[in-house]
Structure 1
């Protein structure tokens, strides 16, 4: 749609909006969240759907969702197990039919009040509108440090422009959604895919709200695994760098060999140092194990892809025939 058509559709409240909300053990907040989201969407458009993607919840999230009134226009997808948030988002995107898709979390940390700003930016011609956190002061200092380091590494070793402090809270035009549907990979880093597809994009600052209930399931290890997925998915520098490290070590060894030969010819043979030998063996062994580990990360991802297993399995699909 052209900007003029988008503006007209927004003014006439005829924009078809699909809200994609991944949920995992959100029984305490999902009903209140959906009702508030419904109120906001009704003020913006006559045509909307709320796609809740349950990622294998162990509580009563699905039962609570099923008790919501039909006026909420719920579309429920239930994955057969916990596949992870990236796959849950993928399932939602593959089942949405709106002219725009809006992704947000169900814990109230993504402010629903920002949605009119997203739609206004879309009406002005932007195909992707993403939220950017204004502050991370509420997070632990170590987490903030690793986040800054991750974004710095991604800027240095990848060709994608990954916005700092931007998450999954965003609006996607239908053509962006269609582009994302073309990616077949199973090990996904959605923030990287958003940046990879390109299109006209703009950021909208927002303040992260307190969680309405519960605690985040994203611990340090899961965030580290996600960061490794992002790096391995969009850069081959970790593989290439070991070639340069190997060259550097070989060059140093060659220089040292010349030094030993020269000293031996000039001053005679010297007793070899056992500590030096141990340090050299441990250093080279550590380098080899580290390089094999990095190579293994890439091989493991190749192994996952060549099996061609489904990205997810649906156990529940309700509301899509209405």
Structure 2
């Protein structure tokens, strides 16, 4: 009976689309229109079951985003909303949506319509073939600026070099089965980097390629500073390589210092070329001082993560829910 039920879910799963939102009032009308049309089409073709819906996660928006979500949820049983008590960042909002929304499969995507919606039917098809996780991977980066393209591709390669398991050119556009989501629930990471965490779940996965479009409206909520912060998060959350690098640098400097000391002694005893000067003193002093400060900074970053994790504070608080996808008491 369980096998038959599992096969039925594979054939026609309930799909939940999870979209974190922060000040997205300009794009929400078009996003809702396109996603509702997509759900209706997939349901009519028998690819997903009735009860599939859109779940917007309002990450403490300061504009009319939540008012619009609430209004859409009253007009349509395909739209639901999750409101966080304050802004907690994209990764926490996304995790909240995944852990709160119901459904047999959940697909996370951005609300700005840059993720190709036509990739969603192919992701569902991969799930029906047996994949528990389906990663949407960018086919090319021709829409990015030269700097963003080079920096992004270099970053993925750098993470791989650091030993971080990550899917190349994949962000947060992915499908997860209910089984994978429940496994993700057991992770108590304080510093979230989902694109590095989810591949560690280990379930059968596959990839679907897509082309990323231009943002439909509004401004990007990921400026350079936030991108750099997320990048550093990925390195320090999943790799101890920087700490090992400090050890290697320390050993190399020690060996170099001993070699220089030996050279100075030989020069002093056997030649007349020894010239007193400040360079031999000041340059090594500044160099070693810089290395020490850099090393302390890297160690401090890891210590700070330990400190923040030890407090075990909640990653988010849900202020309110709306939509027919939730029962009156707020349960799934």
Task: State whether TM-score is above 0.5.
Answer: yes
Check conservation: 1:16, 1:99, Cα contact below 8 A.
yes
The reply on whether 1:196 has 2:200 as its aligned counterpart is: yes
Residue 129 of structure 1: which of 109, 126, 134 is its match? 134
Looking at structure 1, the residues matched to 289 and 327 of structure 2 have their Cα atoms a distance apart, in angstroms, of: 60
Between Structure 1 and Structure 2, how many residues are aligned?
Answer: 319
Is the counterpart of residue 19 in structure 1 residue 24 in structure 2? no
- Structure 1 partner of 2:46: none
Deviations 1:55-84 (A, max 9, x none): 111110111111114434332111122111
**Matched position secondary structure for 2:57:** strand
Residue 34 (structure 2) aligns with: 36
Aligned equivalents of 1:70, 1:285: Cα separation in 2: 64
Aligned residue in 2 for 1:149 = 154
Alignment-derived partner of residue 227 in structure 1: 231
CA distance in 2, matches of 1:250, 1:126: 51
Q: Distance in 1 between matches of 2:247 and 2:120?
A: 48
Contact persistence 1:25–1:58 (CA under 8 A):
yes
254, 258, 261: which one aligns with 2:258: 254
Normalization by structure 2: what TM-score?
Answer: 0.90
Q: Please state how far the C-alpha of 1:175 moved relative to its aligned partner.
A: 1.0
- 1:314 Cα offset (Å): 2.0
Query: Among 23, 31, 55, which residue is 1:51 paired with?
Result: 55
1:180 to partner: Cα distance: 0.9
Q: Residue 78 of structure 1 aligns with which residue?
A: 83
Residues 6 and 124 of structure 1 are in contact (CA less than 8 Å); yes or no, is this contact kept in structure 2? no
SS at structure 2 position matched to 1:169: strand
Partner Cα separation in structure 2 for residue 287 and residue 191 of structure 1: 31
2:97 is equivalent to residue 97 of structure 1:
no
Any gaps of 5 or more consecutive residues in structure 2?
43-48
Q: Which of the numbers 162, 167, 184 marks the counterpart of 2:171?
A: 167
**Structure 2 CA distance for partners of 1:188 and 1:150, relative to 1, 3 Å:** same
Q: Would the aligned equivalents of 2:19 and 2:55 in 1 still touch at CA under 8 Å?
A: yes
Provide closer, same or farther for how the CA distance between residues 190 and 3 of structure 1 changes in structure 2, counting only shifts above 3 A: farther
Partner of 1:314: 318
Scaled by the length of structure 1, the TM-score of the pair is: 0.93
CA RMSD of aligned residues (A): 2.0
| C-alpha contact (below 8 Å) 1:3/1:123 kept by paired residues | no
Aligned 8 A contact 2:83 2:321 in 1: yes
2:45 maps to: none
CA drift at 1:278: 1.6
Q: How far apart, in 2, do the equivalents of 1:269 and 1:38 lie?
A: 82
Residue 284 of structure 1 is matched in structure 2 by 288
